[in-house]
């Protein structure tokens, strides 16, 4: 039975997450499944109520501010719930998806697993744990051209962003690009800020 499942599509910017989400949703539509598409309103790259991949594919979507609002839009006869950009949702998103699965829904979601500092992004670690299937996509490194880019490089005025810059800055190709581990850069121009709250745990034999 297709319900009671959560398929999570993750990876860096420009790896085709939304494109893959749309492909799976369109297959569900062809199979005459009742589908609902959700997107966080913090993602302002699209100017209307829809989600769009970088290759121009798009689908109408409901924009929500808080994850708990998703439940108010999902109807009993909805069979597939697609949620884009999961990393932007608040802490209730894990409970919301768990509830949808328990109600027999098939949930398909996308999200950046790592932020621009190569650290776990938002509640993605929890979502990866409850997912029944996880697909980690790779992108093409925009610096060396290898096909194993797993990092999202933030660029400000064409240069790698400092590690102390704000976590969330909505952008596209002009502010972010995919990089492999070798080409990924994270300069620390203000080391005194980075030291605040840093604790080194003692080694225990």
Q: Could you give the residue numbers annotated as active site?
A: 85
| Farthest-apart Cα atoms in the chain, separation | 58
**Contact between residue 149 and residue 16 where contact means Cβ atoms under 8 Å apart:** no
Burial 45-83, CB ≥16 within 10 A → b, else e: eeeeeebbbeeeeebebbbbeebeebeeebeeebbbbbb
Sign of CA dihedral 28, 29, 32, 35: positive
Coil vs helix vs strand at 135:
strand
Q: Counting Cβ atoms within 10 Å, is residue 145 exposed (0-12), middle (13-18) or buried (19+)?
A: exposed
């Amino acid at each position: 039975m297709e319900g009671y499942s959560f398929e999570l599509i993750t990876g860096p910017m420009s790896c085709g997450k939304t494109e893959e989400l749309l492909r799976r949703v369109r297959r569900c539509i062809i199979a005459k499944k009742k589908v609902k598409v959700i997107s966080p309103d913090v993602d302002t790259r699209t100017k209307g109520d829809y989600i769009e991949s970088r290759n121009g594919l798009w689908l109408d979507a409901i924009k929500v501010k808080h994850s708990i609002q998703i439940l108010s839009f999902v109807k009993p006869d909805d069979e597939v719930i697609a949620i884009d950009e999961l990393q932007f949702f608040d802490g209730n998103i894990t409970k919301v998806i768990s509830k949808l699965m328990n109600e027999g829904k098939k949930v398909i979601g996308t999200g950046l697993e790592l932020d621009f500092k190569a650290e776990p992004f938002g509640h993605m670690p929890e979502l990866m744990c409850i997912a029944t299937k996880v697909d980690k996509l790779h992108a093409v490194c925009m610096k060396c051209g290898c096909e194993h880019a797993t990092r999202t490089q933030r660029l400000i005025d064409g240069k790698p962003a400092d590690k102390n810059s704000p976590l969330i800055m909505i952008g596209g190709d002009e502010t972010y690009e995919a990089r492999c581990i070798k080409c990924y850069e994270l300069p620390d121009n203000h080391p005194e800020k980075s030291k605040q709250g840093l604790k080194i745990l003692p080694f225990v034999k």
